[in-house]
């Protein structure tokens, strides 16, 4: 049994346009969350690659190297769409078509297999914090108009490293000088302080779906709880918003969400 799908309304579309994100509650049932957790856990022990490791990114709190304590902690299971049927179905979940068509203002949304397309696996003990950034910073498309879908399979809150967002930051023009060498917001700058002070934690319940714009500044803390946090994340764009030839964004073909989805 699935839950009734949250209906697209003008008010919620307007809210997304203003804030850059939206939470749709109870998209997945408890048994669906459990089935996904089981399928994902099977790829965690023993680890089925490809995976990104905490030690690889070197973010605050990450283990120093693959050889150090916690060095083999995965940060993301990559290529989620092609991993198993459960994740493939999730990437094409029927809630996504109507919402993405409305938010992208286009009849044919496409799943990008090149960006996110992963399960975030935030482990207690060895997870890192992610600083303030816009996902579009390393992506290359005709237009900076992509939307990511972040599914919560368990509770997500400040204690286990839930996402924090800066509402409305997807429409802010940020001078290059306000970002560091890796394009994270520089928190020490006076110009950035009000923006960061306006951040909100996106608390999610199991089965909730967070949709967020690729220009929305977001960050996340470490997982200070006792349980691993598993969050499948997929990214979509309109079919006429093409990846730039020769870039990482066009390495794998997009998957259309047909009218049936």
- The residues of the shown chain that bind ligand AKG, judged by CB under 6 A, are 120, 122, 130, 135, 161, 218, 220
Q: Which is nearer to ligand AKG, 28 or 120 (CB)?
A: 120
| Residue 88 host element (H or E) | helix 85-91
Query: Which pairing describes strands 218-220 and 130-133: parallel, antiparallel, or unpaired?
Result: antiparallel
> Minimum Å distance from CB 234 to ligand AKG?
12
User: 101 or 150, CB closer to ligand AKG?
Assistant: 150
Q: How far is the CB of 7 from ligand AKG (least distance, A)?
A: 28
Interatomic CA distance for residues 3 and 177, integer angstroms = 46
- Our measurement of the distance from residue 97's CA atom to the centroid of its chain's CA atoms, rounded to an integer in Å, reads 17
∠ CA 81-246-216, nearest 5°, is 60
Minimal distance, residue 31 CB to ligand AKG, in Å:
25
- Identify which of residues 122 and 213 has a Cβ nearer to ligand AKG in the complex: 122
Measured from the CB atom, the residue of 93 and 122 that comes closer to ligand AKG is 122
Closer to ligand AKG by CB, 120 or 257: give it: 120
Cβ nearer to ligand AKG, comparing 97 with 206: 206
CB of 46 to ligand AKG, least distance (A): 23
Instruction: Assess whether the previous peptide bond of 30 is cis (omega < 30° from 0).
Output: no
Cβ count near 39 (within 10 Å): 16
Closest by alpha carbon to 164, among 213, 211, 221, 124?
221
Shortest distance, CB of residue 120 to ligand AKG, whole angstroms?
A: 5
**245: Cβ–Cβ under 8 A, 6 or more apart, which residues?**
none
Q: How far is the CB of 161 from ligand AKG (least distance, A)?
A: 6
Do residues 237 and 104 lie in contact, with contact meaning Cβ atoms separated by under 8 Å? Answer: yes
């Amino acid at each position: 049994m699935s839950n009734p799908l949250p209906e697209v309304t003008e008010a919620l579309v307007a809210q997304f346009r203003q804030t850059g994100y939206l939470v749709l509650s109870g998209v997945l049932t408890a048994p669906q969350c459990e089935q996904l957790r089981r399928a994902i856990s099977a790829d965690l022990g023993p680890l089925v690659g490809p995976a990104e490791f905490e030690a690889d990114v070197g973010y605050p709190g990450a283990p120093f190297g693959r050889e150090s304590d916690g060095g083999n902690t995965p940060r993301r299971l990559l290529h989620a769409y092609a991993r198993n049927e459960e994740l493939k179905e999730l990437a094409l979940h029927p809630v996504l078509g109507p919402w993405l068509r409305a938010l992208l203002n286009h009849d044919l949304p496409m799943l990008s297999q090149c960006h996110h397309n992963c399960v975030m696996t935030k482990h207690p003990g060895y997870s890192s914090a992610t600083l303030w950034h816009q996902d579009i910073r390393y992506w290359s498309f005709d237009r900076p108009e992509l939307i990511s879908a972040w599914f919560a399979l368990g509770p997500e809150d400040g204690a286990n490293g839930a996402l924090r967002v800066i509402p409305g930051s997807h429409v802010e023009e940020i001078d290059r000088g306000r970002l560091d060498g890796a394009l994270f917001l520089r928190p020490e700058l006076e110009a950035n302080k009000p923006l960061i002070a306006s951040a909100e934690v996106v608390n999610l319940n199991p089965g909730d779906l967070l949709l967020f714009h690729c220009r929305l500044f977001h960050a996340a803390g470490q997982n200070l709880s006792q349980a691993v946090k598993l969050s499948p994340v997929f990214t979509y764009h309109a079919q006429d918003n093409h990846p730039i030839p020769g870039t990482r964004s066009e390495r794998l073909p997009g998957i259309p969400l047909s009218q049936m989805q």
